[in-house]
A and B are shown apart, each in its own frame.
Chain A
Amino acid sequence: MKTIQRVVVTGRGVVSPVGSSIQDYWEGLFGGISAVRKITSFDTAKSACQIAGIVTDFDADAHFNFREKKSYERFTQFGLVAALQAAEEAKLQDFESDSGQIGVIIGTGVGGITSYAKAYDALFAGPEERPIDTYTIPRIMNSAVSSAISIRLGIRGPNITLNTACSSGANAIGQAMQWIREGRLRAVICGGSEAPVTYGLLRAWDALGVLSRKHNETPETACKPFDKNRRGFVLAEGAAILVLESLESAQKRNAEIFGEIAGFGSNCDAASLTNPDETGVAEAMRLALVDAELNPEDIGYINAHGTGTRLNDPLECRAIHKIFGDRASTLPVSSNKSVFGHAMGASSALEALATLLAVQNDCVPPTLNCDEQDPECDIDPVPTNSRKLKIEAALSNSFAFGGSNAVLAIRKWNP
């Protein structure tokens, strides 16, 4: 019987609205520098919400040749570039003769949605149909991102793309952790990637009434998690990719260790396609703690799902009280979505990376725009500025339409 393996992080990569390197992500997010901006890639005049978290420092020409640019949609490009950063940091070339022992599992919510729009335009937008680009299918397919990573890095283990809407990235990281823990694989490249800022999707999310509409002229104030005046989130794009590895493998090759993925709670509310459920959300946190063999008092920080919608924030805070009791009122709980928006299937991976950085550096990233805390959100939202704080372990919460919750427990690595 195989031994249960501890699972550690040995590589990290990111493309995000606050920056597209680990250093830039750290400085932007923990510095509380908002990356919500006016959308300029299409005309937003008819949209009530005209802002989003946009990646501005990404130069596709620096990373891809002509054929790759033709073949890879923006979400695939983001995911591949973040994966290459993570693979380089983890020195995955050490596995050269053992690439069947590495897996890839990536979460995405809407995949290559930009190419869907172009294909429909070709069919319906003009007086006559125009030819549909033959690269439409490889650009659209959700699995393009995980496949592109395996192809570029020559990785021959399992290659999976996973979709659980806004918890996709966290579920991918959790699944990767389980593969390694069970001894099936030595290492897994995992995370989430998304590029959902298209006109159609902007209008579709706005139709649900969950996008912030009142701050088009002051985008940095748009998302106000836990605040009395919160009115929703803004869309965002980006990717965060981790290399997870068994502790045994990492120690054998003297790899640098950035933290431990200690537990994973994954469940379903089984209640509603769109409304979160307090019981299910609390249970996901409890499952993550049990899986990590941690007690609630071991947790020094919670990276919230924190969408800034009327419905989510008080419900998430009540669920935190269910698990953490009276201590919840003073527990640091912050929302990265206040800084760079909601990157759908990638958001939970970006937030898991933020949680890892928080635990590694003993620093909690802030919640921006929580100026008048809602008494219904009875937690410590760490407003405005990041906070130095000793953190041994933290939770990263992610909840999704469909009721698919994923909570990761991340522990500091103490050699």
Chain B
Amino acid sequence: MESITRKKIEETCLETIAKEMGLKAGDLNEDMKLRDDLDIVSLDAMNIIMALEDEFNVEADIETVLEMQKVADIVDHLAERMHV
């Protein structure tokens, strides 16, 4: 089985955000702010996290997710939960 890297998590995260928000993954980067740059509100964030949980078979911490500011925060949190 292919080992999961932080890069892989980041790519999947950007693709998932793009799909949920009707954007192109290539236009996104992990320094972007969820609310100000991507117009992501809590309902969108929950959809994105659920899709990523499904993809990586991991459980995110909801309280932490709702506090996140940047794309990198999601990537870091998932990486931590997967011990990557």
Which of A's residues lie within 8 Å of B, judged by CB?
66-67, 130-131, 133-135, 138
Contacts and interface: CB of A to CB of B under 8 A. Distances in A.
**Which of A66, A134, A135 is packed against the most chain B CB atoms within 10 Å?**
A134
A67 B47 contact: no
B22 interface: yes
12 contacts: A66-B22, A67-B39, A131-B47, A131-B50, A131-B51, A131-B53, A131-B54, A134-B44, A134-B46, A134-B47, A134-B50, A135-B43
A133 B47 contact: yes
A138 B41 CA distance: 14
Contacts of A131: 47, 50-51, 53-54
B21 interface: yes
Contacts of A133: 47
B21 A135 contact: no
Interface of B: 21-22, 39, 43-44, 46-47, 50-51, 53-54
Contacts of A135: 43, 47
Nearest to A132: B50
List of 10 A-B pairs having minimum Cβ-Cβ separation, nearest first: A131-B50, A66-B22, A134-B46, A134-B43, A134-B47, A135-B43, A131-B54, A133-B47, A131-B51, A67-B39
A133 B47 CA distance: 6
A30 B25 CA distance: 50
Contacts, number: 18
Contacts of B39: 67
A208 B77 CA distance: 52
A66 B43 CA distance: 14
B18 to A, nearest CB: 12
Given A131-B53, A135-B43, 7 more contacts: A66-B21, A131-B47, A131-B54, A134-B44, A134-B46, A134-B47, A134-B50
Contacts of B53: 131
B4 to A, nearest CB: 20
A130 B43 contact: no
Contacts of A138: 43
A131 B52 CA distance: 10
Contacts of B44: 134
A74 to B, nearest CB: 18
Contact of B54 (A66, A67, A130, A134): A130
A133 B49 CA distance: 11
Contacts of B43: 134-135, 138
A134 B40 CA distance: 13
B28 to A, nearest CB: 15
A162 B23 CA distance: 37
A138 B53 CA distance: 23
Contacts of B54: 130-131
A122 to B, nearest CB: 10
A67 B35 CA distance: 13
Nearest to A137: B43
A288 B42 CA distance: 48
A141 to B, nearest CB: 13
A215 to B, nearest CB: 40
A301 B5 CA distance: 73
Contacts of B50: 131, 134
Q: Which of B39, B43, B47, B50 has the most CB of A within 10 A?
A: B43
A131 B48 CA distance: 10
Nearest to A130: B54
A331 B40 CA distance: 59
A131 B20 CA distance: 13
B14 to A, nearest CB: 17
A358 B21 CA distance: 45
Contacts of B51: 131
B41 to A, nearest CB: 8
A67 B22 CA distance: 9
Contacts of B22: 66
A7 B30 CA distance: 57
A39 B44 CA distance: 32
A339 to B, nearest CB: 37
A387 to B, nearest CB: 49
Nearest to A129: B54
A136 B72 CA distance: 27
